[in-house]
Amino acid sequence: MERSALESDIQFLPGVGPKRAELLRKELGINTFGDLIRLYPFRYIDRSSIVPIREIRPDMAYIQVKAKVLARELYGNAGVIAADNIYGQNQDVSGNGAPAATGSGPDIRFNLVRRMRVVVEDATGRLELVFFKGIKWMYGKLEPGKEFIFFGKPTVFNGLVNIVHPEVDSAPDRQSTRSGSAQQTDALTMTGVYPSTEKLKNGGITGKAMCKMQEHALNACMPDIEETLPVWFLKQQGMVPLPFALKNIHFPKDQQSLERARYRLKFEELFFLQLSLLKQKYIHSRDEHGIQMPKVGEAFNRCYEALPFPLTGAQKRVITEIRNDMKSGHQMNRLLQGDVGSGKTMVAVLTALIAIGNGYQACIMAPTEVLAQQHFKNISKYLEPTGVRVALLTGSSRTAERREIHAGLEDGSIGIIVGTHALIEDDVLFRNLGLAIVDEQHRFGVEQRAKLWRKSACGMPPHILVMTATPIPRTLAMTLYGDLDVSVIDELPPGRKPVQTIHASENRRPALFKFMREQIALGRQIFVVYPLIFESEKMDYKNLENGYEQIAKAFPFPPYKTAIVHGKQSNEEKKFNMDAFAAGRANILVATSVIEVGVDVPNASVMVIESAERFGLSQLHQLRGRVGRGSEKSYCVLMTGQKLSKESRHRIQLMCSTENGFELAEEDMKMRGPGDLEGTQQSGLPISLNIASLAKDGLILNEARSCAEAILEEDPTLSLDKNRLLMQELKKDKYNIKDYSKIS
Ligand code: ADP
Ligand code: MG
């Protein structure tokens, strides 16, 4: 059987060969013709317009100039070696013994030439071109008096606009413009620009070469390209077929064809991702029965009635969503997103009490010991009026205590267990676990979650509620958690005062310390946070130590008390210091970002973040969420160095201008791409996107998701004949997203 051209080894493509094939493999991961044609241009250059030289501005992107060569000048290390005079005659100006250049100059010693300057002219003005490489060949080509099309990006050097290493094409003369073939090239006005690296360019794979390769590969593959979307679906959506899309993404016939090609390819990518995620969810909810919990129960009602505050509208809505899941008879798999301070703990407690009310146990897992302890404290308080027994199990629980807890969980006398990872690593058995709540889900690996599922004793998986305070842009959530239902608490409890965010650099430190003293005199407490980035752990601790010393000096004991918390301390040490601060015994807490999540000290009203430029937006937002929890006006001070990169400055400015976590997350994703978003590195995207962008293509994603839903609604297993192509595509390796099916 003949193999498809798509699978042909890239080295056999005309103009490639083993050496370039190796480069393509290493630099771009391209092994076959098929891989190559799926490498799309990330930008296009409009080749149809010619810019008059007078109108060139240095801030223009790539431009095209049609101009006549006036003169060439060759420079060596010591200055000009040879130059045409402006009338096109050669002239020896070197005075250092190099012979005058004539014509293409066989007597010019090109090995001495370091740079060539070429002056070109059109009817509107003169422009300078500069070459550092391939000079001999260019020198021969750019004969004075001849006209060319030059193509490149204008830059400014010494106050003059020039183009470095333009591409050079001969200008079409009048006769050939009228001929058929020239018209064809005229029609192709847009040229793709492909991802490239220095190594590729040095290996001869220039932009031009890449276009040529794409042309060869497309021609070879075209007969073998198979449609991935059924014809009825293409018709319904008004989308172009795959061969058209591939052809036009590389060589757009016109702007409209390019847009249709791009839409089709982006759609396809997002659609299959959603289809694969949702299919798992559909099959799962059809096959997998969940524990039915029809009642809310007495414990819920007692707790609810004793609440010190009315629930916000968003909290009520989310609890209704959860309640509907739990009584449905299907397993709940829900992600609860809510900004810091939005009141997720309350929702968690009430959800746990629904499980209790139906005769089941619940567990609540936190990512760190400190957070587990804090949860335990808060939850115990809310549970007082209910009489439900709650216990805390962490890595530092003592053996005797541990034994007692194990017994309580096995005989069912403990209703709710709060803990860390220890909860699942430990050989804990439940009498009847009906609900697992995972706080700050991104810190838990998929494996760990899977272990938790297995803890169910009654043969049915527990309901799952995953909570996260890292706001994730909706498009990303839909992709990362495509098979979870998502609830959002988008409303903060009333009476929250905005946190005033201030940016200051080192020279303002005396003013900062003065401000801190004033706040302490008012009875407030202060966080001072240092970044901890693993690459330079030693230096980070050094910074932290120096910072601590500086603070201790500026705020001496008595009357001031400063506590310090960092990752190198033992759990007891950490707890001792945290407790001292939480109980108000210390005025200042110097810490690394370990306090990022969850820590609740309502009396703390100032958050000072040192080297704030080293934190990402989400992290800054998390840290700022530690203040503004009490009734006092709160402040967040972002300390940075004097000099900031453009990106850092933008981040800091955003922080100062908004407190909306979702807005910040969207911006973060736009600036850094979804892959780098904090909180998502661990889970990562299930497959990498080639052309679609979660930051920019939200609308297409919505469309793709509802299409996938509609198809699965009718045919959850994709076994109808009309969906055959879809099933075939989903069988490809890249959609075999094993980890994700484990979530449920
Ligand atoms: P999250 O876990 O979402 O960051 P918490 O559950 O810790 O937020 O709640 C933050 C603070 O808001 C807590 O002090 C909590 O008691 C309070 N709180 C929660 N819900 C409400 C509400 N509906 N009205 C007033 N205060 C609330
Ligand atoms: Mg919380």
Residues 6+ apart with CB under 8 A from 189: 46, 47, 48, 254
The residue whose CA is least distant from atom 14 of ligand 1 is 629
Query: How far away, in angstroms, is 305 Cα from ligand 1 center?
Result: 16
Query: How far away, in angstroms, is 493 Cα from ligand 1 center?
Result: 7
The residue whose CA is least distant from atom 10 of ligand 1 is 341
Q: Round to whole Å and give the CA distance between 532 and 639.
A: 15
Q: In what order do the strands lie in the sheet with 463-468?
A: 390-393, 416-419, 361-365, 433-439, 463-468, 333-338, 485-489
| Tokens encoding 127 | 């422009």
Q: Round to whole Å and give the CA distance between 623 and 597.
A: 7
Q: Round to whole Å and give the CA distance between 31 and 18.
A: 11
Q: Round to whole Å and give the CA distance between 597 and 476.
A: 21
For ligand 1, say whether the CB of 563 is within 6 Å of any of its atoms: no
Query: How far away, in angstroms, is 312 Cα from ligand 1 center?
Result: 10
Ligand nearest to the CA of 338: 1
CB 449 within 8 A of CB 743: yes
Give me the average pLDDT of each 10-residue run along the chain (744 residues).
83 93 92 94 80 88 89 90 69 45 62 92 94 89 92 84 86 46 48 84 86 95 94 96 96 90 95 88 71 94 93 95 93 86 92 96 88 90 94 89 93 94 78 89 58 69 85 72 78 84 94 96 94 66 85 93 87 86 93 65 92 86 85 92 88 91 78 48 54 80 91 92 94 66 32
Query: How far away, in angstroms, is 369 Cα from ligand 1 center?
Result: 20
Q: What is the pLDDT of residue 678?
A: 36
Q: What is the pLDDT of residue 179?
A: 36
Q: What is the pLDDT of residue 94?
A: 46
The pair phi, psi for residue 734, each rounded to 5°, is -65, -20
Pocket test for ligand 1, best of 342, 368, 382 (most atoms within 8 A of CB): 342
Looking up tokens 């080894």, which residue turns up? 9
Q: Round to whole Å and give the CA distance between 216 and 505.
A: 56
Q: What is the pLDDT of residue 407?
A: 94
Q: Round to whole Å and give the CA distance between 417 and 434.
A: 12
**For 392-508, where are the alpha helices, taking DSSP H only?**
399-411, 422-425, 446-453, 474-480
Q: Round to whole Å and give the CA distance between 498 and 586.
A: 25
Residues 6+ apart with CB under 8 A from 553: none
The residue whose CA is least distant from atom 15 of ligand 1 is 343
Residue 366: how many other CB atoms lie within 10 Å: 27
Residues 6+ apart with CB under 8 A from 134: none
Pocket test for ligand 1, best of 345, 418, 492 (most atoms within 8 A of CB): 345
CB 277 within 8 A of CB 686: yes
Which residues of 103-159 form beta strands (DSSP E)? 115-122, 125-131, 147-152, 154-157
Q: Round to whole Å and give the CA distance between 230 and 725.
A: 6
For ligand 1, say whether the CB of 342 is within 6 Å of any of its atoms: yes
Q: What is the pLDDT of residue 352?
A: 97
Q: What is the pLDDT of residue 248?
A: 95
Q: Round to whole Å and give the CA distance between 265 and 375.
A: 46
Which amino acid, one-letter code, is at 355?
Answer: A
For ligand 1, say whether the CB of 345 is within 6 Å of any of its atoms: yes
Secondary structure element (H or E) that encloses residue 139, with its range: helix 135-141
**Bond into 99 cis (ω within 30):** no
Q: Round to whole Å and give the CA distance between 246 and 637.
A: 51
Nearest residue to 414 via CA among 391, 397, 387, 385: 391
Query: How far away, in angstroms, is 444 Cα from ligand 2 center?
Result: 16
Q: Round to whole Å and give the CA distance between 216 and 12.
A: 11
Q: What is the pLDDT of residue 176?
A: 38
CB 607 within 8 A of CB 519: no
Pocket test for ligand 1, best of 346, 349, 368, 627 (most atoms within 8 A of CB): 346
Nearest residue to 213 via CA among 19, 32, 14: 14
Categorise residue 197: left if φ over 0, alpha if ψ from -120 to 50, beta otherwise.
beta
Query: How far away, in angstroms, is 351 Cα from ligand 2 center?
Result: 14
∠ at Cα 174 (117, 209), nearest 5°?
50
3-state SS string for 298-357: HHHHHHHHHCCCCCCHHHHHHHHHHHHHHHCCECCEEEEEECCCCCHHHHHHHHHHHHHH
Q: Are strands 63-76 and 79-84 parallel, antiparallel or unpaired?
A: antiparallel
Q: What is the pLDDT of residue 93?
A: 47
The residue whose CA is least distant from atom 20 of ligand 1 is 343
The residue whose CA is least distant from atom 23 of ligand 1 is 311
For ligand 1, say whether the CB of 469 is within 6 Å of any of its atoms: yes
Secondary structure element (H or E) that encloses residue 604, with its range: strand 604-609
Q: What is the pLDDT of residue 683?
A: 37
> Hey, which residues does 606 pair with through a beta bridge?
526, 635
Give 134-166 pLDDT, tens digit per residue. 888 899 999 999 999 898 889 888 778 899 988
